[in-house]
Amino acid sequence: MRAFFVLLQKEFLQIRRNRFLPRLIVVFPIMVMLVLPLVMTMDVRHVRVAVVDLDRSSTSQRLISHLGATTYFSLANRCAQYNEALHLLEHGDADVILQIPREFEHGWMAGSPDRIQITANGVNATKGALAMQYLLQSVARTLGEIRAEQSPAPTSELITVQNRFNPTLDYRHYMIPALMIMLFILICGFLPALSIVGEKERGTIEQINVTPVGRLTFTLSKLIPYWLIGLFVLTAALAVARLVYGLAPAGPVGAVYLGAMLFILTISGFSLTVANFSQTMQQTMFVMFFFIMIFVLMSGLLTPIASMPEWAQRITYVLPPRYFVEILRAVYLKGTTVLELGTSYIALGLFALLFNGLAAVTYHKRQ
């Protein structure tokens, strides 16, 4: 035990004496939680609309005026012909074209209108699809208002819309838990690996190899400081999310900490395993970056797993972040308890045992 505490003290001294690392541990999580929720959003605003109004009626004017009254749209230009608007779209001066056909108002009142045409720029598929949906909703809402003014029983009163768990559909509430997970992957994933490989490059690990320190003792002395750093990062992220964005877990905070501890154990054990097979910093960073890209893109952090191909969905079952994503979003937004998420907690626990066991086994002492 004395050797273990000496090694643990050495790790904390190395972290404290490093001029950059303490600042990274404190400043990086706070800046990520402060800035990224403001810029990482799937909400599309100020969509530039080129309008081709061939009807020139009161209905078409009302449709256009409603577009200019919202922050989601800005009128790029009013064009006399469709080709003129298409020219703006091709040169990036407009994002979507709204063409109102001739005699639209007359046909709509008679019940057989010509269709309104919407053309979106599909280069950015996400922005194009969302812009088209926003425009469809805006047109449908305006026509519904006009119809309601003419009808004593508007149909809008027969429909009630309710968004559960995220009533305002604020994208930040969906992204903040994902940002916390990315912080754990970057800090608790990269730093332990770089610590081990740094000692290999300096040659100090050879001094430990000739001591009677066991593999488990050495592995724990490397991991425990980063487990504590991970819990500090979680606390800081929870505080920023609550104080700045007013987002607090709907479920028990203990469920968040339990999931975070299991995930920190998993990702730090995985990074140490990678470091045991690496000889240089460059090699470690390339291997870790490869796996982190897979974790981020395929675990449900940024895109829903259900939208992936079936073969890709099967792969996600062997990705630890998948389970922590489920835990964090369910506890934060739905108020789910530990018992209800038992399968995800058990999966993370098994991954933690697997990777930390591999980290201890793959560390070979050379005497």
**Residue at which a domain ends, from 129, 158, 187:** 158
Instruction: Provide the pLDDT for residue 41.
Output: 67
Question: 32 lies in a domain?
Answer: no
Which residues make beta-bridge pairs with 77? 50
Asked if 244 and 318 sit in the same domain, the reply is yes
CA distance 49 to 98: 7
Question: Which range is most confident: 143-147, 170-174, 178-182, 203-207?
Answer: 178-182
Overall average pLDDT of the 68-74 stretch: 80
Instruction: Provide the pLDDT for residue 207.
Output: 67
Whether residue 321 has pLDDT greater than 70: yes
Asked if 201 and 282 sit in the same domain, the reply is yes
Share of the chain above pLDDT 70, in %: 90
Which of the two residues, 267 and 66, has the higher pLDDT score? 267
106-132, pLDDT tens digit by residue? Answer: 887 877 777 888 888 877 666 777 778
Question: 10 lies in a domain?
Answer: no
Six-digit token string for 200: 């290999």
CB atoms within 10 A of CB 281: 15
Asked if 94 and 182 sit in the same domain, the reply is no
262-283, pLDDT tens digit by residue? Answer: 999 999 999 989 988 888 888 8
Do the Cβ atoms of 316 and 298 come closer than 8 Å? yes
Closest CA to 320 of 270, 358, 251: 270
To the nearest 10°, report the CA torsion of 286, 291, 295, 296.
20
Question: 125 lies in a domain?
Answer: yes
Report how far apart the first and last C-alpha atoms of the chain are (Å, whole number): 22
Least confident of 168-177, 241-250, 254-263: 168-177
Question: 25 lies in a domain?
Answer: no
Question: Which range is most confident: 5-9, 163-167, 207-211?
Answer: 5-9
Per DSSP, the residues of 325-351 read HHHHHIIIII---TTTTHHHHHHHHHH
Question: 273 lies in a domain?
Answer: yes
Least confident of 206-210, 239-243, 266-270: 206-210
Whether residue 214 has pLDDT greater than 80: no
Instruction: Provide the pLDDT for residue 267.
Output: 93
Asked if 282 and 137 sit in the same domain, the reply is no
Whether residue 169 has pLDDT greater than 70: no
Side chain identity, residue 67: L
Asked if 78 and 226 sit in the same domain, the reply is no
Whether residue 141 has pLDDT greater than 70: yes
- Indicate which CATH number applies to the domain containing 150: 3.40.1710.10
Asked if 255 and 317 sit in the same domain, the reply is yes
Instruction: Provide the pLDDT for residue 253.
Output: 93
Whether residue 16 has pLDDT greater than 90: no
Which of the two residues, 5 and 265, has the higher pLDDT score? 265
**Residue at which a domain ends, from 137, 158, 179:** 158
Instruction: Provide the pLDDT for residue 71.
Output: 77
Asked if 190 and 266 sit in the same domain, the reply is yes
Whether residue 333 has pLDDT greater than 90: no
Whether residue 258 has pLDDT greater than 70: yes
352-364, pLDDT tens digit by residue? Answer: 999 988 888 887 7
Asked if 263 and 203 sit in the same domain, the reply is yes
Task: Please give the tally of structural domains in the chain.
Answer: 2
Mean pLDDT value across the chain: 84
Asked if 217 and 141 sit in the same domain, the reply is no
**Residue at which a domain ends, from 158, 181, 198:** 158
Six-digit token string for 192: 């332990």
What is the pTM assigned to this prediction?
Answer: 0.75
Instruction: Provide the pLDDT for residue 191.
Output: 87
Residue range(s) defining the domain that contains residue 88: 47-158
Distance of CA 260 to the CA centre of its chain: 16
Confidence category of residue 156, pLDDT binned at 50, 70, 90: very low
Confidence category of residue 162, pLDDT binned at 50, 70, 90: low
Which of the two residues, 2 and 227, has the higher pLDDT score? 227
